[in-house]
Amino acid sequence: MPNYMRSRVTMKGIAELPFYDEWGDLDFDKVIPTPKELLKGADKHGFMPLGEGMILRNWRREHWGTWSSSAWLKVVTSDRIVFETAWTPPIKLFQEISRRYPDRGIFIEWADEVKSNHIAGAAKIIRGEVVGRIDFEDPNSCERKWRQLWGYKLLSKDKYMDKHKVRAKK
Contact yes or no for 42/31 (Cβ under 8 A): no
CA 135, 82, 124, 27 dihedral sign is positive
Instruction: Give how far Cα 157 sits from Cα of 43, 79, 166, Å.
Output: 34, 11, 10
Angle at alpha carbon of residue 92, lines to 139 and 54, rounded to 5°: 90
Q: How many CB atoms lie within 10 A of CB 152?
A: 11
Q: What pTM did the predictor assign?
A: 0.80
Contact yes or no for 84/4 (Cβ under 8 A): yes
Which one, of 97, 127, 103, 140, lies nearest residue 7 by Cα? 97
Write down the domain spans for the chain. 4-163
Tens digits of residue pLDDT in 7-46: 999 999 999 999 998 888 899 999 999 888 877 766 666 5
pLDDT tens by residue, the chain, 170 residues: 678 899 999 999 999 999 998 888 899 999 999 888 877 766 666 566 666 667 788 889 999 999 887 777 888 999 999 999 988 999 999 999 999 999 999 999 999 988 778 889 999 999 999 999 999 988 888 888 988 888 654 444 445 445 545 444 44
Residue 149: half-sphere exposure toward Cβ, Cα within 13 Å: 33
